[in-house]
């Protein structure tokens, strides 16, 4: 993966502290912060600090880091009280997936019934 300058990527800039975000969990390799335009009562984005464009690239290049992103998402789900009622964890990927920010991020959504996935 080509190196990406933090100035070129919104979420790299959040990792660098150049753009403020409401961080709910941080590990050595991952960061979780609240979505600026929440689509559910709980809407948290979970990212690797290292830049990967999308989940396919991340999973192919670094399966261990992929697992760390999922583990951070699970820990946030527990912190937010979502484990009992359930939640949605999704990666929008590429044009058809509706991805708008090309630094891989898991959307953690919960706190209310979310309905059918594409509604």
Binding site for ligand 5GP (CB under 6 A): 10, 19, 21, 33, 35-37, 92, 98-101
Q: Which one, of 1, 14, 6, lies nearest residue 105 by Cα?
A: 14
Give the Cα separation of 79 and 97 in Å (integer): 28
Binding to Zn ion, residues 19-78 (CB under 5 A): 51
**Partner from ligand 5GP, Zn ion, none contacting 27, C-beta within 5 to 8 A by type:** none
| 51 belongs to the catalytic site | no
User: How far apart are CB 10 and Zn ion at their closest, in Å?
Assistant: 7
User: 117: phi > 0 → left, psi -120 to 50 → alpha, else beta; which?
Assistant: alpha
**Chain residues in the site for Zn ion (CB under 5 A):** 9, 11-12, 51, 103
């Amino acid at each position: 993966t080509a190196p990406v300058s933090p100035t070129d990527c919104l979420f790299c800039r959040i990792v660098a502290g150049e753009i403020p975000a409401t961080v709910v969990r941080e590990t050595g390799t991952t960061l979780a912060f609240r979505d600026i335009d929440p689509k559910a009562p709980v809407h948290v984005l979970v990212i690797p600090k290292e830049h990967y464009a999308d989940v396919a690239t991340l999973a192919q290049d670094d399966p261990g880091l992929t697992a760390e992103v999922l583990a951070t998402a699970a820990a946030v789900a527990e912190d937010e009280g979502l484990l009992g009622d359930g939640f949605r964890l999704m990666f929008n990927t590429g044009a058809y997936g509706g991805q708008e920010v090309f630094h891989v991020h898991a959307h953690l959504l919960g706190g209310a019934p979310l309905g059918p996935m594409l509604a």
